[in-house]
Amino acid sequence: MPFNRKPQKFNAAIKSVVIGSGDKTVTLGGENVLPFYAFDGEIKNGPKVGVEITDLGMEGEPESVKAYYEGAATMGEIAKKAAAMEGADFLCLRLAGGDPNGLNKSVEELIETVKEVADAVDVPLVVEGCKNVEKDSELLTKVAEVLQGRNVLVMSAREEDYKAVGAAAGLAYSQKVGAESAVDINLAKQLNVVMTQLGVNADSIVMNVGSAAVGYGYEYVVSTLDRIKAAALSQDDKMLQMPIITPIASETWNVKEAMATEEESPEWGSQEVRGISMEIQTAAASLASGSDAVILKHPQSVATISKMIQELM
Amino acid sequence: MTLFERVFGGNDAVYGLTEAAVDAAIAANGEEKAVSFPDTAYALPCYYAVTGVKVTNLKEMKEALGVVKSLMTRENQLNDVFMSGVATALCAEFIEAIKYIDGAKPYDEPCYGHLSDAIIRELGVPLVTGDIPGVAVILGSAPTAQEGVDLVKSYQAQGILVTLVGGIIDQCQELGYKTGANVRVIPLGKDVTSVIHAVSVAIRAALIFGNVTAGDAGALMTYTKDRVPAFVNAFAPLDDVIVACGAGAIALGFPVITNDDKDVPAIPKSLIIQKDVSKFNATSLEARDIKIKITNIDIPVAFASAFEGEIIRRGDMQVEFDGSRVDCCELVQTKDASEVEDHKIELIGPDIDEFEVGSKHSIAYVVEVAGKSMQPDFEPVFERKFHSYLNCIEGVMHTGQRDMIRIRVSKEAFNAGFRAKHFGEVLYAQVKNEFEAVVDKCQVKIYTNPEDCTKIRHEIAIPVFDKRDERLSTMTDESVPVYYSCIMCQAFSPSHVCVVTPERLGLCGAVSWLDAKATNELDPNGPCQVITKEKVIDERIGEYEDVNEAVRKLSQGALDDVSLYSIMEKPMTSCGCFECICGIEPFSNGVCIANREYAGMTPLGMTFSELASMTGGGVQTPGFMGHGKHFIASKKFMKAEGGVARIVWMPKELKEQVAEKLNETAKELYGIDNFTDMIGDETIAEDPETLVAFLTEKGHPALGMDPMM
């Protein structure tokens, strides 16, 4: 019997969200087929890869990451190197130092870093907060304000602070808003519903539906991504058609497989190889399950994943 | 004079002034002279928002006056009043804009005049989040400076943004009251026309935050009415110009509250006369439906969930209120808004310090609430939370509910100053915070006289409780218009959807139809959504087209159809939280039910956990179904297969729990007395043969019914 190709057609598509300004923009989403099902139909934009840097500079980074950034002394220089990384589509600045339970840097200090990074590069920018709801409400509001006109993605608005972050980033300063939920399709949808009720344009929202490192309950992530894509495409669920961005580096580099030194676990081999491997595996799985963008930090991971995307498109 | 005459007169006067001002400005500067407000991208924001046209110079302003004139219709309809109000506001904007010609700085400290876009963006975010719950525009001079400052202070304490126009600015200065954008008290200007700078804030908020297109006056007014929680406090005497401006405020949806009762006809909800200035705050908040978040509960001890499990032993106890010995009760009552004074806490009877250490007393506390969306069905939902609220107080222990409560207050809490009224403070704050969506106003009455408590318990509370129970027991699936979905468990059981009906509560046993309804009203985007049931497919098994549609949508396509009353045909799925599982027992034509607490074997050859593994996970398994305990005695239990007569076995403990109601149902449906005596349990049989022998001996009806498979 001859093989009959039967493309799976959907009468719905993921929304396209553009971040960045001027000549340098990147479009997330836009597809109307399942992840990498290029044989079912053209994939408009293809998944994108972002490079993560934090306001902590090179402090605590693995040696091989430090090696890549060698010679970069200021945040501006670090940002330039990150933006120039092979395979990078956008830059992500994570303001980890703002966490009140950590360094607890002041909003003013962090905003200076944001400005320095934004002034140094013209690539599309994603700015992530410190994950503390109260601090983020204040910090991300300010971030949205100082980056007016840059059309950045501000991450993230969550159930607890979506009003402040959504109103500032989505309404007052016309940025894009990340909507973050914790690996649950209903919570992801509910957040999109309340954000749009607040007045944020559905086309300005990018979802971060939560993640984990592979091996750390990652099955839940796959199932959530799967179901969101299925609902968005096969059921035309408008409140789940926002593109998905998944921060990977911040999940994979602090698990045991990436942290244990070779002295501690000689049988596991090179620590660096393990860390990169965790990052690549998690990113590949997230893209295959439906994420429209991943955020990585190791140059080798960025290069590998962007090559994978090219080959599969 | 009628309101029409006053507004039209005021409007005409302002129009005349504006025309003269524009002409004078043209004479002095020429037609081409640019007019603009500083630091705004919206030209003359009010005119731009209403018409979609940006006025940039005096010539265009002169033309715009013609457009304003066209709004000034005189048909003596309410709409003419509103449009004349809008026209007055636009005129005021022109007059103010002319002041700024040539980059002039017409306003000196402390007045701000025009506010920049940057300030609006900054204020807009807290306005959207509700951190600034409202915007007060105070106009004119209060009867005394002190009264004026007190009013400003009262709004400021609530986080409300205050803007000042006219004499009130001098009154604040007179008493040295601090003003400025940083303390959210903004003096605009002393001329009445400077009120436009407050209007401009509301209007630009609509353009920036509401995505309102300039020129779409309808959308603009809807936005300001629904989303900008502003209101006007105008002090007597009101001249025609102020009345005309007020009409403009009302057109935008902002109520005007005044103490001038001469020649001002009240308009319900819009133009409110409140002669007592000290009540302006409460009247304004109520009129604009502004709810103030309570961040701090005013009690002398801590309040946190960490204290919820605290036990207070007899020796540590200052006093005790014990519903099992004397008359006590806790009750929520829905009242009319006029009967409730927000945050009124009343103690009727002696306080804790008048009681002997270690003594036992009566207490009754009645929480009276009012709200536009409040329904008596929510009362028990609130009440059920009291246990947790009072337990969270450091040094207070609460057990039980309704009229069977016991409360102990520790010596330590008493010594820290804890008194009876503090129960009220906690209940007030928690009810207002947690049920903000439906509670507008709340007051608490605490009774400690034994006679009062007896009276309240027996004459008010018990009849209310009885009525509620009656309502629950008489509610049928047929008697309600809609059902509710519950997908609270989808986090771990992704395709499961509960359809909650009055006669079939959620399978976890925790979500009744009333609970689901309350959850839906309190959190409209939450886990419980309305399911209509208008398109019947099959009444026998309880299948509806609309229910199927909802299930399909909520399970993301994993489930196509469910029946409400059958265990064999399209049974409802289970998440994993089921209180009980019933499974088909083929030898007797019946079903066995096992509850979660039962660890032993069932005649099906499976334990509860073994049954659970094949019933849960959101899949349909004909012949097996998870359900709540209360569903067992429901007339809808397996209705399609013949009802409760199919039940042949239950663990003894469960049987005893449901016996009374189940017997009632069996008597009503089949005329069988003491039906539960015919049902086996683990003391009679744990295998099918012994069970069938027992059923045969008892003449169990299931044996004579059609086979289920």
pLDDT in tens, B570-586: 999 988 888 999 999 99
Residue B122 and residue B223 in one domain: yes
Which residue, of B259, B288, B317, is where some domain finishes? B288
Q: How many domains does chain B have?
A: 4
- In whole angstroms, give the CA distance from residue B188 to residue B209: 23
- In whole angstroms, give the CA distance from residue B397 to residue B409: 7
- A145 and B491 in contact by Cβ < 8 A? no
Of B125, B494, B527, the CB nearest to A141: B125
Of A193, A194, A230, the CB nearest to B556: A230
Which of B125, B224, B523 has the most A C-beta neighbours within 10 Å, making it the best mutation to test the interface with A?
B125
Which of A138, A158, A171 has the most B C-beta neighbours within 10 Å, making it the best mutation to test the interface with B?
A171
In a domain, B109, yes or no: no
Domain residues for the domain of B191 are 117-288
Residue B48 and residue B138 in one domain: no
Are B469 and B475 in contact, with CB atoms under 8 Å apart? no
Closest-CA residue of B relative to A228 is B556
Residue B128 and residue B270 in one domain: yes
Residue B608 and residue B483 in one domain: yes
Closest-CA residue of A relative to B553 is A235
> Considering only CB atoms, which chain A residues are within 8 Å of B126?
164
- A227 and B487 in contact by Cβ < 8 A? no
Residue B495 and residue B454 in one domain: no
Of B121, B125, B526, the CB nearest to A164: B125
- B556 and A231 in contact by Cβ < 8 A? yes
In a domain, B387, yes or no: yes
* Residue written as token pair 């092979």: A86
Complex confidence, ipTM:
0.73
pTM equals: 0.76
> Does the pLDDT of residue B492 top 80, yes or no?
no
Q: Is B208 helix (H, G, I), strand (E, B) or coil?
A: helix
Q: What is the pLDDT, as a whole number, of residue B619?
A: 87
The stretch B507-514 carries a mean pLDDT of 85
Of A168, A190, A230, the CB nearest to B125: A168
> Considering only CB atoms, which chain A residues are within 8 Å of B132?
none
In a domain, B487, yes or no: yes
Residue B523 and residue B633 in one domain: yes
Contact of A173 with chain B, judged by CB distance below 8 Å, is answered with: yes
> Considering only CB atoms, which chain B residues are within 8 Å of A237?
556
Distance between A189 CA and the closest CA of chain B, angstroms = 9
Which residue, of B418, B437, B472, is where some domain finishes? B472
A51: left (phi over 0), alpha (psi -120 to 50) or beta: beta
Residue B520 and residue B412 in one domain: no
Residue B619 and residue B684 in one domain: yes
Q: Write out pLDDT tens, residues B5-48.
A: 899 999 999 999 999 999 999 999 999 999 999 999 999 999 99
> Considering only CB atoms, which chain B residues are within 8 Å of A164?
125-126, 128-129, 131
Chain B contact residues (CB < 8 Å to A) = 121-122, 124-126, 128-131, 208-211, 487, 490-491, 494, 525-527, 553, 556-557
> pLDDT-derived band of residue B138, with 50, 70 and 90 as boundaries?
very high
Of B124, B526, B557, the CB nearest to A167: B124
The first and second tokens of residue B633, run together, are 């005695």
Which residue, of B103, B131, B157, is where some domain finishes? B103
> Does the pLDDT of residue B1 top 80, yes or no?
no
In a domain, B300, yes or no: no
- In whole angstroms, give the CA distance from residue A158 to residue A182: 9
- State the CATH number of the domain containing residue B366: 3.30.1650.10
> pLDDT-derived band of residue B310, with 50, 70 and 90 as boundaries?
confident
Q: Write out pLDDT tens, residues B173-231.
A: 999 999 998 889 999 999 999 999 999 999 998 888 888 899 999 999 999 999 899 99
Domain ranges of chain A: 46-312
- State the CATH number of the domain containing residue B32: 1.10.8.190
In a domain, B108, yes or no: no
Per-residue pLDDT of chain A (313 residues; tens, 9 = 90+): 788 888 888 989 999 999 999 999 999 999 999 999 999 999 989 999 999 999 999 998 999 999 999 999 999 999 999 999 999 999 999 999 999 999 999 999 999 999 999 999 999 999 999 999 999 999 999 999 999 999 999 999 999 999 999 999 999 999 999 999 999 888 899 999 999 988 899 999 999 999 999 999 999 999 999 999 999 998 888 999 999 999 999 999 999 999 999 999 999 999 999 999 999 999 999 999 999 999 999 999 999 999 999 999 8
> pLDDT-derived band of residue B656, with 50, 70 and 90 as boundaries?
very high
Residue B378 and residue B508 in one domain: no
Residue B593 and residue B680 in one domain: yes
Q: What is the pLDDT, as a whole number, of residue B318?
A: 96
Q: Write out pLDDT tens, residues B392-418.
A: 999 999 988 888 899 999 999 999 999
Q: What is the pLDDT, as a whole number, of residue A21?
A: 94
The stretch B327-349 carries a mean pLDDT of 94
Q: What is the pLDDT, as a whole number, of residue A132?
A: 93
Of B128, B210, B525, the CB nearest to A193: B525
Q: Write out pLDDT tens, residues B513-571.
A: 988 998 898 888 888 999 999 999 999 999 999 999 999 989 888 899 999 999 999 99
Q: Write out pLDDT tens, residues B155-167.
A: 998 889 999 999 9
Under CATH, to which class is A46-312 assigned?
Answer: alpha beta
Of A171, A184, A187, the CB nearest to B128: A171
> Considering only CB atoms, which chain B residues are within 8 Å of A186?
487, 490-491, 527
Residue B512 and residue B566 in one domain: yes
> Does the pLDDT of residue B74 top 80, yes or no?
yes
- Lay out the sheet containing B498-500: strands in order across: B498-500, B482-486, B530-532
In a domain, B389, yes or no: yes
Q: Write out pLDDT tens, residues B198-214.
A: 999 999 988 888 888 99
Q: What is the pLDDT, as a whole number, of residue B76?
A: 84
The first and second tokens of residue A11, run together, are 């009468």
- B128 and A173 in contact by Cβ < 8 A? no
Q: Which residues pair with B163 in a beta bridge?
A: B137, B186
The stretch B68-81 carries a mean pLDDT of 90
> Considering only CB atoms, which chain A residues are within 8 Å of B219?
none
Which of B495, B556, B575 has the most A C-beta neighbours within 10 Å, making it the best mutation to test the interface with A?
B556
For chain A, give the DSSP string: -PPPP-----S--PPEEEEEETTEEEEEE---SSTT-TTTS--SS--EEEEEEETTTTTT--HHHHHHTTT--SHHHHHHHHHTSTT--EEEEE-GGG-TTTT---HHHHHHHHHHHHHH--S-EEEE--S-HHHHHHHHHHHHHHTTTS-PEEEEE-TTTHHHHIIIIIIIS--EEEEE-SS-HHHHHHHHHHHHHHT--GGGEEEE-----TTSSHHHHHHHHHHHHHHHHHS--GGG-S-BEEE-HHHHTTSHHHHS-TTT-GGG--HHHHHHHHHHHHHHHHHHHT-SEEEE--HHHHHHHHHHHHHH-
How high does pLDDT run on average in chain B? 92
The stretch B606-626 carries a mean pLDDT of 90
Q: How many CB pairs under 8 A join A and B?
A: 63
Residue B248 and residue B318 in one domain: no
